[in-house]
Amino acid sequence: RRFSKSRVENNMLAITDINPPLDYIGSFTYPQKSILKIKDLLDKNDIGLLLFVFPHGHVVDETEWRIGRLEYGFKIGKVYSNKPHEDLINWAQEQGIITYDLMQKMRETSYEKKLFFDQDGHWTVDGHRVAAESLRDFLLKSALLPYP
């Protein structure tokens, strides 16, 4: 194991462990400030913002990202906490930011298709397809696009 799970500054994925790291709350400060700066800029230019939130493999399914998760101290055969995912979405919605959450669709599909590579945790072709089709369906059903 290469990374400690006691602090986010040492391992950005530590926030998904069952026992939150010591700096859990503080780990959201910089991303939240950055998102708010982007929102402010877009608001000033009358442009909407959609926050697309997607999970890591070890949070989706116990078999996704099988090998790479070990380096970060996560076990194969276990699904980890999506609390940070939910906390980010709740915060964004409190800020009036529209969010799209890919978690449910990824979880539904992961038992049928491999969505993450075993080593590096990036999406496979199927993972990209699920994300793209799911986002497309969301956008087409929403009022976010300027055309039907």
Q: What is the phi/psi pair of residue 19, to 5°?
A: -95, 110
Position with higher pLDDT, 3 vs 32: 32
pLDDT digits (tens, 9 = 90+) for 78-136: 999 999 999 999 999 999 999 999 999 999 999 999 999 999 999 999 999 999 999 99
Give the per-residue pLDDT at 10: 63
- Tokens 């049928």 found at: 112
5-18 confidence digits (pLDDT tens) = 666 666 677 778 77
Predicted local confidence at residue 15, as pLDDT: 75
Question: Can you list the pairs that 15-19 forms with residues at least 24 positions away whose Cβ atoms lie under 8 Å?
Answer: 15/83, 15/84, 16/56, 16/58, 16/59, 16/74, 16/80, 16/81, 16/82, 16/83, 16/84, 17/73, 17/74, 17/80, 17/81, 18/80, 18/81
> Is 3's pLDDT higher than 70?
no
Mean predicted lDDT score pLDDT of the chain? 89
Q: Is residue 51 within a helix (H) or strand (E), and if so which, with residue range? A: strand 50-53
Q: What is the pTM of this model?
A: 0.85
pLDDT of residue 33: 96
Residues 86 and 28: their CA atoms lie apart, in Å, by: 12
